[in-house]
């Protein structure tokens, strides 16, 4: 209904390439991956070969040298088919920027090229059992001992952890400080003292593994520090706007897909002697959903443009994440309702998307945290 002017011809050529990859290599296998609870290494290697990993990483480090608009295309094409399992966006657009923007030259050259090919998979460890979004109060510690950090602690709800070759871990390097005592440290998953816990059973997104992590006197060289010691919270805040934009892009594309599936289904399904789409109620519901999605689409595209220009701030990213995730939930519920009983079946794409959509209001910071960020921006400062 509206032309998306942020993408140029080169972007659209890339989209066609990504769409072919998703339709041939991801979507046909996704149910099998959901049953297995993990996306196999082979799929990551194929993604790397197809050029859909680390799109925004410069060519000198093995990436394609694109920008976040290329990343957005990958996110949208995965969402368009309901393929919520592959953690390609987490790997490419959340983990790799920490290395690219804050890592040493040695770390960048060692890890980024293999991330781009899919040879190496990655994760980021922030959340702990004692608190979700309260990063300032993390308890996982990293104590200096000669040329090493000795890490002790626990993480939970870590996506992509089961197959990850390394994890960027948020640790307390100064236990007397709050935000000013956090550092980011790259931990290879074959190091003694590191162990993965159980793969957690989620309500939805079954192909996307989620795990516990444990660190027991895990020794990591000081050279694995990402960024500056005790400046980890600052580095996190620098990258969180993009992480929340990832969630917003995914939410809008998923909502668009659900609407399209529902239009197609109601146009074919008969009830009381006519198509479900012929009922005025159906038309009103679909028109309302279309309007909600379109508003979010225009706003999120504007945020994409600002981000590429380096102008997207945290509060605006929080607005994008919050509004799009809540919209996605409303669309999922209304579209499933129009599918009737069949919508509640796992074999139906809408049923799986409805369950998966609930995660959007938690991932990348809960809705409540987004409201706190926005409120802090708009409320008058105390004198």
Give the three-class secondary structure for 275: strand
> What is the Cβ-side half-sphere exposure of residue 229, based on CA atoms within 13 angstroms?
12
- Give the separation between CA 139 and CA 270, rounded to whole angstroms: 57
Task: Report phi then psi at 71, rounded to 5.
Answer: -60, -40
Tokens of 328: 């996605």
- Give the separation between CA 82 and CA 350, rounded to whole angstroms: 9
- Give the separation between CA 4 and CA 322, rounded to whole angstroms: 22
CA dihedral 51, 191, 239, 211 (to 10 degrees): 90
**Does residue 65 contact residue 58 with C-beta atoms inside 8 Å?**
yes
Cβ contacts of 296 within 8 Å, gap of 6 or more: 248, 251, 252, 255, 323, 324, 327
**Which sequence positions are flagged as catalytic?**
243
Classify each residue of 292-318 as buried b or exposed e, where b means 16 or more C-beta atoms within 10 Å of its C-beta: bbeebbebbbebbebbeeeebebbbbb
């Amino acid at each position: 209904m509206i032309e998306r002017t942020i993408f140029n011809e080169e972007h659209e050529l890339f989209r066609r390439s990504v769409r072919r990859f998703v339709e041939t290599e991801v979507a046909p296998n996704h149910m099998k991956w959901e049953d297995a609870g993990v996306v196999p290494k082979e799929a990551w290697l194929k993604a790397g070969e197809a050029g859909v990993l680390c799109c925004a990483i410069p060519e000198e480090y093995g990436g394609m040298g694109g920008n976040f608009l290329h990343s957005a295309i990958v996110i949208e094409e995965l969402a368009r088919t309901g393929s919520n399992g592959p953690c390609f966006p987490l790997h490419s657009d959340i983990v790799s920027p920490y290395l690219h923007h804050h890592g040493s030259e040695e770390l960048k050259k060692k890890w980024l090229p293999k991330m781009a090919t899919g040879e190496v998979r990655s994760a980021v460890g922030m959340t702990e059992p004692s608190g979700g979004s309260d990063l300032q109060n993390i308890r996982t510690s990293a104590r200096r001992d000669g040329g090493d950090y000795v890490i002790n602690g626990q993480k939970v709800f870590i996506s992509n952890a089961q197959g990850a070759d390394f994890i960027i871990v948020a640790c307390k390097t100064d236990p007397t400080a709050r935000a000013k005592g956090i550092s980011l440290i790259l931990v290879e998953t074959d190091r003694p003292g590191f162990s993965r816990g159980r793969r957690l059973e989620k309500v939805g997104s079954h192909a996307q593994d989620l795990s516990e992590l444990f660190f027991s006197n895990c020794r990591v060289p000081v050279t694995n520090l990402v960024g500056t010691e005790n400046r980890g919270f600052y580095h996190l805040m620098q990258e969180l706007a993009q992480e929340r934009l990832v969630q917003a892009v995914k939410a809008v594309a998923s909502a668009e897909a659900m609407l399209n599936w529902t239009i197609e289904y109601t146009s074919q399904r008969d009830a009381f002697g006519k198509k479900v789409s012929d009922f005025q109620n159906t038309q009103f519901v679909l028109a309302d959903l279309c309007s909600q999605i379109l508003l979010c689409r225009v706003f999120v595209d504007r945020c994409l443009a600002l981000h590429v220009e380096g102008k997207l701030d945290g509060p605006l990213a929080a607005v994008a994440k919050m509004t799009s995730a809540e919209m996605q939930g409303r669309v999922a519920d209304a579209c499933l309702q129009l599918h009737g009983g069949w919508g509640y079946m796992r074999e139906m794409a809408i049923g799986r998307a409805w369950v998966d959509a609930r995660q959007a209001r938690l991932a990348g910071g809960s809705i409540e945290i987004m409201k706190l960020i926005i409120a802090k921006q708009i409320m008058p400062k105390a004198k």
